[in-house]
Amino acid sequence: MSDASPEFGAADVQVLTRTPGYRGFFSLDTWVLRHRLYAGGWSQPFSRELFVRDAAAGVLLYDPVRDEVVLVEQFRIGAMVDAETRGTSPWLLEVVAGIIAPGESAAELAQREAVEEAGCQIRELIHILDYFNSPGGSNEFISLFCGLVDSAGAGGIHGVPEENEDIRVRVLSSTQAWQALQEGRMNNAMAIIALQWLMMNRDSLRTQASEKHAENT
Distance, CA of 194 to CA of 86 (rounded, Å): 26
Distance, CA of 182 to CA of 130 (rounded, Å): 24
Q: How far is CA 189 from the centre of its chain?
A: 7
Catalytic residue at 163? yes
Neighbours of 165 (CB within 10 A): 16
Distance, CA of 100 to CA of 92 (rounded, Å): 21
Taking Cα atoms as reference points, which of 4, 58, 26, 45 lies closest to residue 137? 26
8 Å CB contact between 176 and 170 = no
Distance, CA of 85 to CA of 102 (rounded, Å): 38
Pick the catalytic residue from 7, 49, 113, 163: 163
Residue numbers annotated as active site: 163
